[in-house]
Homo-oligomer: A and B are copies of this chain.
Amino acid sequence: MQPADLGLGDSSLHRYLDGEFWSLKNELRGLLGGCPLFRPRYDLSLDEMRTLTFQRVTFTMGLPLLKRAIQDQVEKTRNFVSRSLVIGEVLSIADMATGVKCGIIYWLFGGAIRNLGGPAHVTQWLQPLQEQKYTGMFAMTERGHGSNVRGIQTEATFDFSAQEFVIDTPCKNAEKMYIGNAMYGNYAAVFAQLIINGRSQGPHCFIVPVRDENGSLYPGVTVVDMMHKEGLHGVDNGILRFDNVRIPRENLLDKFGSVAPDGQYHSPIKDKSARFNAMLAALTPSRLAVTFQAMGSMKLGLTIAIRYSHSRRQFGPKAREEVKIIEHQTQTLRLMPHLATALALTFAGRYASTLLDEDIFRGKELVSSRTLQALVAGLKAYSTWENVSCLQDCRECTGGMVVVRELLAQYTKQCEERPVSSVLRNWAESGSDRLRTSFLAFNMDTVGNLTFLLKAVHFRERTLQRGLVARIYYKVMTEKEDFFSAWNSCLHHITCLSLAHIHRVSLEQFCLAVRNCPDQEDQALLKKFCLLYGTKLVFQERAWYLEHKYLTPMTSMRIRRQLLHLCNSVKGDALTVISAFNISHASLHAPIAGIANPKAAWGLYPAPQHSLAGERARSPWPKLGAKL
């Protein structure tokens, strides 16, 4: 595709959204968009996809623009973090796997050397990395320690006589896991407990050779291919094991802690915990890269979904052309808030990256900007959640209208049959308990009572139904709107009613199933989950109940506490329930669930203590009265 066909544009808004890096981003968009390697492929095997990704990475990192960015990182040129991040965003949009792999090799591995190493490390390692003489990987996460990095178990023991560190994986939980570029990379930045004279100085980072330039593994290193990564096959994740691999003393990245030839440990930070925090803080910019990748995905998904919504037509006023689906209320309600969020993330991400650049430019250690670290960590979680929810909404289309048409028809019929004061009658009816649930004699006070929950969901359904009829009647009869536009302006209301209806039926059926359960123990167990389900339904809609004064602020807070309490109290019962789902191991084939899978032998975690079959882990009946 020629750059002219790329559909790239220019306006004040284009420039404002891309900020000071507008021309940089546009240049990169043009280069990647014009490169045949980046044409999307879905037809490749795992190996072919990995090979293509490697070629894409090589092409990308060979671009003068990218070489300059790496050089900026070496020289800590002004704003180099922000520049790297926007490059990462553009790369991820062109191809997520390329974005991820470049991030691993140049920002995680390269960043470890730059931020945790001394000047000699930078000279020795970053120059050839820039020239693509070799590639690296970032080996922090272990099987047993992902979020809790401080507890990693890989060991780097100092051998005084040889002036070497011995890198070792002492147990299965210490294996380095989900390591990107593991099937190609030559060197790994390995986090390990630094042990001198039998005493650990906490986690430090070491450069460990993994395979030579021909791709042959060095002795003592084992790599297990984690194979397929659905949706991201281009990223080769693997597991690394080290069996007493010896590396020179100089391979310790020693900015925050060094070992002298005589074995003396020295660190500018005395406290072990503070030292570890300083190391992690130095990696903050890499964490922010995830936010920029997520933002890139949101922009891509929203661009597709919004363009489609402005083109595709479906439904509309009778005997007229169907309307564009963007005209449907639910469509804008689903897409527009995500678009606003993508914008908010654009500016919040820029804010965070600017703060990082300023700190670095001023020579401030990142560990002292704890506020900034909190912001970056929070943005990572927030942006990836928003991304998932955004892309899911982009995929789904509007639905559920059939349900409500029927509920309205029912209502109309009722009204026809009882023309006089039918609304009042209906009100009275919805207040009474038509659900024949009085059999449920739970010995609990109001909120923790199934009857209370059933009445609540029933009240909500009837109120929404009555309100919808009134709104549509008013719009059509009084305001003379045509039915389509009256219906459309109530579409959110309609969707709520659909779900309220299903919630009520589901809770009712659950209650009946509890009542009819022949085994007393089973019944008690199911009762707890039924209570949890009803609590969840009311909790989800507590705003509505508060608005309609069905709940007081006090009872609403009680619902929240009840939900928390119930969730905690059934976690043992959960094993009993999933066991009764009776899913054969052949279908599970999930090593993380303790079911061995010959295709992924590396993934096995121990089975939970209660086996799948038949046994039960009973929890006591939740003490609702006492704790809430």
Contacts and interface: CB of A to CB of B under 8 A. Distances in A.
A158 to B, nearest CB: 25
Contacts of A8: 582, 584, 613
Given A499-B382, A509-B344, A585-B5, A592 B304 contact: yes
Contact of A529 (B1, B340, B525, B579): B340
B402 A16 contact: no
Nearest to A369: B406
A463 interface: no
Given A13-B525, A568-B329, A583-B299, A509 B350 contact: yes
Contacts of A230: 42, 230-231
A292 B230 CA distance: 24
A616 interface: yes
Given A10-B613, A339-B574, A522-B12, A587 B371 contact: no
B303 A586 contact: no
Interface in A379-432: 379, 381-382, 388, 392, 397-407, 409-410
Interface stretch (A132-140, A184-192, A474-482, A549-557): A549-557
A260 interface: no
Contacts of A374: 402-407, 501
Given A17-B581, A228-B43, A542-B543, A532 B337 contact: yes
Interface in A1-54: 1, 5-14, 16-18, 25-26, 29-30, 32-34, 38-40, 42-43, 45-46
A339 B93 contact: no
Interface stretch (A102-110, A142-150, A237-245): A142-150
B336 A586 contact: no
Contact of A42 (B18, B43, B228, B406): B228
Interface string A563-589: 110111011001111111111111111
A120 interface: no
Given A6-B584, A313-B144, A546-B553, A377 B402 contact: yes
Given A315-B147, A374-B501, A13 B576 contact: yes
Nearest to A406: B374
A369 B351 CA distance: 58
A129 interface: no
**Chain A contact residues: helix, strand, loop or mixed:** helix
Nearest to A345: B506
A269 to B, nearest CB: 17
A14 B579 CA distance: 8
A322 to B, nearest CB: 7
Contacts of A348: 502, 505-506, 509-510
Contacts of A342: 581
Contacts of A268: none
Nearest to A302: B578
A589 B503 CA distance: 39
Given A1-B585, A6-B585, A7-B585, A409 B370 contact: yes
Contact of A505 (B375, B400, B583): B375
Interface stretch (A195-203, A441-449, A513-521): A513-521
A614 interface: yes
Interface residues of A, number: 177
Contact of A588 (B304, B311, B343, B400): B304
A342 B510 CA distance: 10
Nearest to A523: B16
Contacts of A378: 400, 402-403, 498-499, 501-502, 505
Nearest to A589: B40
A256 interface: no
Residue of A333, A378, A557 with most partner-chain B CB within 10 A: A378
A307 interface: yes
Contacts of A503: 382
A543 B556 contact: yes
A533 interface: yes
Given A314-B146, A502-B375, A586-B6, A571 B326 contact: yes
A529 B336 CA distance: 8
A18 B582 contact: yes
Contact of A536 (B337, B506, B610): B337
Given A348-B509, A348-B510, A340 B532 contact: yes
Contacts of A311: 594, 605-608
Contact of A556 (B11, B228, B546, B583): B546
Given A337-B533, A580-B17, A612-B9, A347 B512 contact: yes
Contacts of A347: 506, 509-510, 512-513
Contacts of A568: 329, 332
Contact of A306 (B299, B377, B533, B578): B578
Contact of A614 (B10, B29, B612): B10
A549 B547 CA distance: 11
B300 A567 contact: no
A359 to B, nearest CB: 15
A341 B616 CA distance: 20
Give the 5 A-B residue pairs with the shortest CB-CB distance, closest first: A9-B613, A374-B406, A310-B608, A33-B586, A33-B584
